[in-house]
Amino acid sequence: MAIYGTALLALCTLLGAVLGELLGHVLHVKANVGGVGLAMLLLIAAKAWLARRGKLTPGLRLGVEFWGLMYIPIVVAMAAQQNVLAALEGGPMVVIAGISAVTLCFALVAVLGRVMGGRHG
Structure confidence at residue 44 (pLDDT): 84
User: At 64, is the pLDDT very low, low, confident or very high (cuts 50, 70, 90)?
Assistant: confident
User: At 15, is the pLDDT very low, low, confident or very high (cuts 50, 70, 90)?
Assistant: very high
Q: Flag whether pLDDT at 119 surpasses 70.
A: no
Q: Flag whether pLDDT at 67 surpasses 80.
A: no
Cα–Cα distance between 45 and 61 in angstroms, integer?
13
Q: Where along the chain do its domains lie?
A: 1-82, 83-121
The pLDDT tens digits for 26-58 are: 888 887 888 888 888 888 888 889 889 988 888
CA distances from 37 to 13, 56, 58, 87 (A): 9, 22, 25, 18
Structure confidence at residue 13 (pLDDT): 86
- Helices 92-117 and 35-52: crossing angle in degrees, nearest 10, is 10
CA distances from 94 to 6, 15, 62, 76, 89 (A): 35, 26, 38, 19, 9
pTM: 0.59
User: At 22, is the pLDDT very low, low, confident or very high (cuts 50, 70, 90)?
Assistant: very high
